[in-house]
Structure 1
Amino acid sequence: MKQIVIIHGGSSFNSYENYLNHLKSSQLHYERLLWSQKWRDWLAQEIVDTDVLLPDFPNKQNASYAEWKIYFEKLLPLLGDDVQLVGYSLGAMFLAKYLHESPLSSPVRRLVLVSPCYDDESVEDLGSFRVTSAAGLEKSAKEVHLFHSKDDPVVPFTELAKFQRDLPTAKLHIFEDRNHFFQPTFPELKELLEQK
């Protein structure tokens, strides 16, 4: 059975106080409260010959690496022998950190990291997801792909170079104007995931 696992983004804070301050200072935007299609859901509808899994990791508003690790390790036994892992933003950081610390016993077909942060101090808080090294991820995946846009306002484009340093064989997918991939569709990612 072919499977694609897409791990969503989120926020992580260095302290509970920082999280509360963020809640107090951030504004709600009416437009963001309306339903809008996300590329994760679009991919699940568009890719028909593969099980696209969209797990909801715990507490995405104030995520804890330890909690996500427990959840991910419960997910691993459900995976078969033809798996592609996609991490987006905080989800990409999680996969980089987890697979660096705990390489998979059997590599997945493809690992895709979309807009991952590494350790940039300008990013508000990285909490327990800060990446210290992404070296060795190729032990857990036959292919590693990195997606980033030069105009990303959430994760500086300079973070890509840190992943490139640790993963010199990774394939790069660089965009000029995709922001933080806040978009309803993602045809380039679909095309990659459908490749044999």
Structure 2
Amino acid sequence: MQEPKQQIFYIHGGQTFQQESDYLAYLQNKAVSLDRVELWPKSLQQDLNKPEIQWVAPQMPCKQNAKYQHWQIFFRRYLQHMQAEPILIGFSLGASFLIQFLQQNKLPVLPKAIFLVAPVYDGQGSLEQLAGDFDIKPAPLVQPELESKLNFYFSQSDKIVPISNMQKFQKLFPAAHYQSFPDKNGHFLTPDFPELQADIANHLLAK
């Protein structure tokens, strides 16, 4: 019988807008380029491209004008495919989504670890709007045993998710693990993220 693969679920980031007019203005004014910029999720996926690993990266609905309810409906469809001890990774809005999802829903299996890169708490001090019901509520996780599996990462030079968000999460989830970096090119806009790769590798080796 074939051994089940180690699943790694990655939830990408996105943007939200308080008004439809704000979204339309964004579409009209956003800079466009033909050059493709590869960020750390790509190199992470390449590093984890192994026969024993299954990389699952759902394309969440309308990421440029995201709504929490839409993402929740779509992500729930993946729960039936979760195998024992998956690893969950969320970046930016995707990390905020995972937190709120775990505040409202029970997973069918316990994850091995949950990695949250630059999750936004409430949007205060950010250069971008936070809407679509993605703001974090002061509520515990449905499965309290998951709190110690949360691993947070913040950049002190981040203008999208200021470092003040880390202090808010520390109050809400004191049993979680936290790392901050002096500079990750602002909002973790780097081609690689070796610290996260090392942390994931350590969890993969742990039995």
Which of 118, 122, 125 aligns to 2:125? It is 122
Q: Give me the whole-angstrom Cα distance separating, in 2, the residues matched to 1:66 and 1:27.
A: 26
1:180 lines up with 2:184 in the alignment = no
1:10 lines up with 2:17 in the alignment = no
1:41 lines up with 2:38 in the alignment = no
**Counterpart of 2:177?**
171
Segment of structure 1 superposing worse, 38-47 or 108-117: 38-47
Residue 102 of structure 2 aligns to which amino acid in structure 1? L
Residue 22 of structure 1 aligns to which amino acid in structure 2? Y
Q: Give me the whole-angstrom Cα distance separating, in 2, the residues matched to 1:43 and 1:189.
A: 9
- Output one character per residue of 1:51-91: Cα deviation in whole Å (capped at 9) or x when no partner: 12222111000011111001100111111002011110000
Which of 160, 164, 167 aligns to 1:161? It is 167
What SS does the corresponding residue of 1:129 show, helix, strand or coil? coil
Q: Could you say if the C-alpha distance between residues 40 and 149 of structure 1 is closer, same or farther in structure 2, counting changes exceeding 3 Å? A: same
Residue 153 (structure 1) shift: 1.6
What SS does the corresponding residue of 1:111 show, helix, strand or coil? strand
Residue 105 (structure 1) shift: 4.4
RMSD: 1.7
The answer to whether the 8 Å contact 1:92/1:114 transfers is: yes
The answer to whether the 8 Å contact 1:106/1:140 transfers is: no
Q: Give me the whole-angstrom Cα distance separating, in 1, the residues matched to 2:11 and 2:130.
A: 17
- TM-score, normalising length from structure 2? 0.86
Aligned length: 193
Residue 191 of structure 1 aligns to which amino acid in structure 2? A
Residue 160 of structure 1 aligns to which amino acid in structure 2? M
**Counterpart of 1:132?**
137
Residue 120 (structure 1) shift: 2.9
Q: Give me the whole-angstrom Cα distance separating, in 2, the residues matched to 1:182 and 1:53.
A: 21
**Counterpart of 1:192?**
199
Segment of structure 1 superposing worse, 134-143 or 4-13: 134-143
- Output one character per residue of 1:85-122: Cα deviation in whole Å (capped at 9) or x when no partner: 11100001101111111132432111111001101333
Q: Give me the whole-angstrom Cα distance separating, in 2, the residues matched to 1:142 and 1:108.
A: 11
Q: Give me the whole-angstrom Cα distance separating, in 2, the residues matched to 1:176 and 1:134.
A: 29
Q: Give me the whole-angstrom Cα distance separating, in 1, the residues matched to 2:135 and 2:165.
A: 12
What SS does the corresponding residue of 1:192 show, helix, strand or coil? helix
Q: How does 1:13-28 map to 2 (within 5 A)?
A: 13-24=17-28, 26-28=29-31
Gaps of 5+ in 2: none
What SS does the corresponding residue of 1:23 show, helix, strand or coil? helix
Q: Could you say if the C-alpha distance between residues 69 and 43 of structure 1 is closer, same or farther in structure 2, counting changes exceeding 3 Å? A: same
1:106 lines up with 2:109 in the alignment = yes
- TM-score, normalising length from structure 1? 0.91
- Output one character per residue of 1:141-193: Cα deviation in whole Å (capped at 9) or x when no partner: 66110000111121111011111111111111110010211111111111111
Q: Could you say if the C-alpha distance between residues 134 and 8 of structure 1 is closer, same or farther in structure 2, counting changes exceeding 3 Å? A: farther
What SS does the corresponding residue of 2:8 show, helix, strand or coil? strand
